[in-house]
Structure 1
């Protein structure tokens, strides 16, 4: 009896193990990391976007018949915590790839981890040019248009302004430093007659707007480049409006036209700023209409730019895995280089030379409508049109 009982127990354990193994083989896991607790204005719509994409992928049969599962972790806005999360996802959860991140310094930390551990990483949001160029590596690809790309789009309009004296305001970390450097470079190339008369570098998320506005006003610029976002942007705009900083001055601003940053300004929204953003209410294309209807049906809410980024990150990951027919990192890399796919903004391609996608951005101006901020006169700029050629990229990016 005892022998029979032990045999039965052993058989049950073996069957359970086989079932567990079969379950593992019937799904593909992606490890997703982001600053959910630190930056909910962007990351909550982002989460909704990728959750919608997961549902659509699985409803369409998954990845070559396997269910797609996303295991998500919060990095709290700390690079060390992001690397710890990445290690747990790879070693304990056995994910096929890493995806996500928001802040540029965190994206670089996870990219470095991916390079050291030879793990595929699809960077969703971080904008620093270093991700694909000076610190680029064969395991890292980036979805969103970079600082270089958005700066080039903005410079195209900024160079038309008569202003010659410029000041800059940007958060003092990787993203802000990268954005200011590339904007100044591209702007000075187009307009060698301009002067840079002041730079303000408030700490990210902790701007003391009064002294910043006072210092910029004292420099008496004719135009201002703004790179602040989120709560810092609201404080800057409020103080700038109060002190008349923006009156009779041109302002060019990264990201301000994104609903997650424009909406909180409400009736304080300054008019006429040249911005990159996402005027979801004015985009009339079949690709975007399909996404918009699906998003509104699921959440009874309008999308933010984060929604687009989260959605397309998972759609891209699914396309990569389907083409590779493998979770081997080298096969994932080979599948991604040169891969084209649809997006709510139209077809995009991941370039082989630098692993940057050609997803573009909308450029327009801020305006007030019914007591809230909107983007007007917006035009979609294709990412491929604002990237440097192969010869220049080869100088910027280390050899793999």
Structure 2
């Protein structure tokens, strides 16, 4: 085949023009996101919707520092070993700028270890263990949600007003559960020295024998109950407790139960009057919350859940750090994030410099049944900053 001089010249011009066009495209900022999508779908799927909404909003507004935001998401199936392997793939093959996500506390700790070893930023969204920012805290790990200590402290304010002195506790047998019971007991007894815990049950996560657990708690003749179970374990525990009368004439304080992810499945079986942390999505009225709810419903056709808030706030917190840092270098980001403020559906929050815990708060209220479904009533928002210990306490808990 013969080529004309014009064809050769045109081809050469195209070859020269193509690199220039490619250079004109800004390189995306890439977040490697890891979560337990198949293991805990009730929370993580609304969470994914939340971060997808936030990414769409950021990019529609022009991106970050003139660059589009891209999230490369992977499923850890609730297994720390899978999370570690996936983190390596995201860092080495996908060349992400930072890691984010996590649901279970043990998975979050595993990802934090990866971040420390590789000197890469990890922003934990949901893992609640205090060890992330205290005992095993380090320069490269930041945590968004209120921790086990913070959730316990918020509930203790109400629990200390109860006349009950004999308490029992039930919690899943891993870091989140044991840590929550430890802090709740310690903080409550500091306010009420007359309180004692007469029994504790720690069923395996996802495998609660609810009948046996309820029987063991009933046998201790408690006046009040601390519940830390969630998901299907919570549903089974409530069902057996209702059937066997465990909750009759007893106060119950319950972590996370007011979140729609865990309240909705209870339906008409929702016990009334429990003191809970959660998200009263059907009755909040502040402008930031209502704007978020409207945008979420417009995109997904369903109301948001607590996971949705976490996913959305996670992106906002990361973007604020990148803007303040002026780039995506790990050391830049780790210098910039402490003290950085960011907007969330719950209002303004910030990253504490002393321990890299955010001041995002949550709602405390009581459970009720309305129109055949569970809801929160008599609620109030508790700023996360109000539920954190003093700096001198943190200095004793966090390595230098």
Bigger mean CA deviation after superposition, 188-197 or 316-325: 316-325
In structure 1, distance between residues paired with 2:47 and 2:153? 25
Rate the CA distance shift 1:170–1:15 in 2: closer, same or farther, 3 A: farther
TM-superposed deviation, 1:390: 1.1
Structure 2 counterpart of 1:104: 105
> In structure 2, do the counterparts of structure 1 residues 12 and 108 end up closer, same or farther at CA, with 3 Å as the change threshold?
farther
Instruction: State the alpha-carbon separation in 2 of the partners of residues 106 and 332 from structure 1.
Output: 23
TM-score, normalised to structure 2's length?
0.95
Give 1:222 deviation, angstroms.
0.5
Residue 388 of structure 2 is aligned to residue 383 of structure 1: no
Q: What RMSD, in angstroms, separates the aligned Cα atoms of the two structures?
A: 2.1
Q: CA distance change for structure 1 residues 211 and 342 in 2, over 3 Å: closer, same or farther?
A: same
1:195 aligns with 2:188: no
Alignment of 1:292-303 (within 5 A): 292-303=293-304
Residues 219, 355 of structure 1: alpha-carbon distance in 2 compared, 3 angstrom cutoff: same
Alignment of 1:1-400 (within 5 A): 23=25, 25-399=26-400
Q: What is the distance in 1 between the residues matched to 2:22 and 2:269?
A: 56
String of CA shifts for 1:6-28, please: whole Å, max 9, x gaps. Answer: xx9999999877766765x5211
Tell me how far apart the structure 1 counterparts of residues 156 and 234 of structure 2 sit (CA, whole Å).
21
Mapped to 2, the partners of 1:222 and 1:13 lie a distance apart of 79
Alpha-carbon distance in structure 2 between the residues aligned to 1:26 and 1:204: 42
Distance 1:179 1:15 in 2: 61
Cα offsets for 1:142-165 (capped at 9, x unmatched): 110111111001000000101010
Name the CA distance, whole Å, in 1 between partners of 2:16 and 2:394.
Answer: 54
| 1:338 match: secondary structure | coil
Q: CA deviation at 1:286?
A: 1.1
Separation in 1, partners of 2:291, 2:372: 29
* Matches of 2:11 and 2:169, distance apart in 1: 71
Three-state SS of the structure 2 residue aligned to 1:119 is coil
TM-score (structure 1 length as normaliser) = 0.95
Shift of residue 195 of structure 1? 1.2
SS in structure 2 of the partner of residue 373 of structure 1: strand
Number of residues of Structure 1 aligned to a counterpart in Structure 2: 398
Q: In the aligned structure 2, how far is the partner of 1:339 from the partner of 1:262? A: 33
Gaps of 5+ in 1: none
How many Å separate the matches in 2 of 1:10 and 1:240? 78
* Superimposed CA distance per residue, residues 328-386 of structure 1 (whole angstroms, 9 cap, x where no aligned partner): 11110111110012211111010000000000010000011111100000000011111
